[in-house]
Amino acid sequence: MNAERYLADVEIAWCPGCGNFAIRRSLAQALAQLELPPHKVVLVTGIGQAAKIAHYVNVNGFNGLHGRTVAAAAGIKLVRPDLTVIAESGDGDLYGEGGNHLVHNIRRNVDLTVIAHDNRVYGLTKGQASPTAPQGYRTRAQPAGSPSAPLNPLALAIALDAPFVAQAFSGEIERTGELIAQAIRHKGFSLVNVLHPCPSWNRVQTFAWYRERIVHLEERGHDPADRAAAFAVATKGGEEIPIGVLYRGERPTFGDVHPVLQGEPLGLRPLPTLHELSPLLAGFA
């Protein structure tokens, strides 16, 4: 399938040179590679520059509240396992305001693909530090530098036993598309943390900065089935930035274990009949 068909022909409100353009292209390539019919995909986003992607891709869209992306996506997937549900937003949305939902939906192991546009800043609100900003990172809101250590989303997800954890770099469109496709195909909760520069607000982590530091895990002999090794990669620190699949495991999904979710999707079931209700109500008489 042609990736172009997934790209909506609308005016795009991202800044020129924004990494979001490349991620949109990677997402379209992944959908094309998997030959997913647009009407069988729901793209759930929150609020932020990244979250506007729901309007720029030709699939169903739920552009909800800031921070609540994963919660809304989980609601959709639980009642409609027949749909491919992708939750996509920025690092502020997914890791800051929405951190609790990320944690608990990994626990639930809802079969979602979460794509985090991680540029380490808040773009839409003009450049404040995000949860992944480096300690000491200076902004107008953090003039003395961000006092807190950055969140490590990869280590968090692996620690919580998310069954698929990967990191991508938006400067590599093909590779990012391939990682997103793997994440969608993998059953259970998948996280793809996509590092991308913000040309407007982040003058430190630029394309060049990333290119000097990224290393590709498949070239390093990393075994994604080894959770301890994956955790070691995620927490190694230092100058190198790992790109690729850190962890790939198997765990029953919420839909596998919940007795109510066997059979027809709840979102498509018919309304109750008198035949069903009468004995229930008679039980109280």
Partner 1 sequence: MEVVVRIAGAAGQGVQTLGEALARAVFRSGLYLHGELSYHSRIRGGENAFTLRISDRPVLATSAHADLLLPLNGKMLELYRPSLRPGGLLLTDEEVPGEGAMRVPAARYAREDLKLPIAAGVVLLGAAARALGLPPDRLAEAIREVFGDKAEPNLRALGEGYRLGPEPRWTLPPAQFRPGERALLTGGQGVGLGAIAGGCRFVASYPMTPGTAVLEFLAQHGLRHGILVEQAEDEIAAINMALGASYAGARSLVTTSGGGFALMVEGLSLAGMIETPVVIHLGQRPGPATGLPTRTGQENLLFALHAGHGEFPRYLVAPADPADAFYLTAKAFDLAEKYQVPAIVLTDQFLVDSYAVVPALDPERAPAREHLVPREELERIPRYERFALTPSGVSPRAVPGVSEKLVLVDSDEHDPYGRITEDLGIRRRMVEKRLRKGEGLRAEIAPPEVYPPGSVRGKRVLLGWGSTYGAIREAVELLGDGYVHLHLRELWPLREEELRAVWAEAAEVILVEGAATGQLGKLIAGETGLRPGRLVTRYDGRPFTAEEIAHEVRG
Contacting positions for partner 1 (CB under 8 A): 10, 13, 37-40, 42, 44, 47, 52, 54-55, 58-65, 68, 71-76, 78-80, 82-83, 100-101, 103-104, 258-261, 265-269, 271-272, 274, 276-278, 280-282, 284-285
CA distance 222 to 194: 19
The residue (of 212 and 276) whose beta carbon lies closer to partner 1 is 276
C-beta closer to partner 1: residue 157 or 173? 157
> What are the backbone dihedrals phi and psi of residue 278, each rounded to the nearest 5 degrees, phi first?
-55, -50
* Nearest distance from C-beta of residue 78 to partner 1, angstroms: 6
- Cα distance between residue 232 and residue 154, in whole Å: 10
Would you list the DSSP string of 135-189?
TT---SSSTT---SPPP-HHHHHHHTT-SEEEEEETT-HHHHHHHHHHHHHSSS-
Nearer to partner 1, 80 or 213 (CB): 80
Q: Which two tokens stand for residue 158?
A: 């692996």
Q: What DSSP element (H or E) covers 62?
A: strand 60-63
Residue 61 or 150 with smaller CB distance to partner 1: 61
| Cα separation of the two ends of the chain | 59
Q: How far is the CB of 222 from partner 1 (least distance, A)?
A: 32
> Please, what is the minimum distance in Å from the beta carbon of residue 14 to partner 1?
12
Two tokens, residue 107: 């626990």
Rounded to the nearest whole angstrom, what is the least distance from the CB of residue 271 to partner 1 in the complex? 4
Closer residue to partner 1 in complex, CB, 103/151: 103
Q: How many whole angstroms separate alpha carbon 232 and alpha carbon 234?
A: 5
Measured from the CB of residue 40, what is the shortest distance to partner 1 in angstroms? 6
Is the distance from CB of 250 to CB of 274 less than 8 angstroms? no
Cβ atoms of 166 and 184 closer than 8 Å:
no
Smallest distance from the beta carbon of 196 to partner 1, in angstroms? 21
Closer Cβ to partner 1, 147 or 259, answer by number: 259
113 vs 176, which CB is nearer to partner 1?
113
Q: Give the integer Cα–Cα distance in Å for 38 and 191.
A: 21
Give least dist CB 124 to partner 1, A: 11
Closest to partner 1 by CB, 24 vs 248, is: 24
| Closest distance to partner 1 from the beta carbon of 75 (Å) | 3
Q: What residue ranges in 124-210 does DSSP mark as E strands?
A: 128-129, 164-169, 190-195
How distant, in Å, are the alpha carbons of 148, 214, 229, 234, 242 from that of 238? Answer: 18, 11, 16, 11, 11
* DSSP H or E stretch at residue 43: strand 41-45
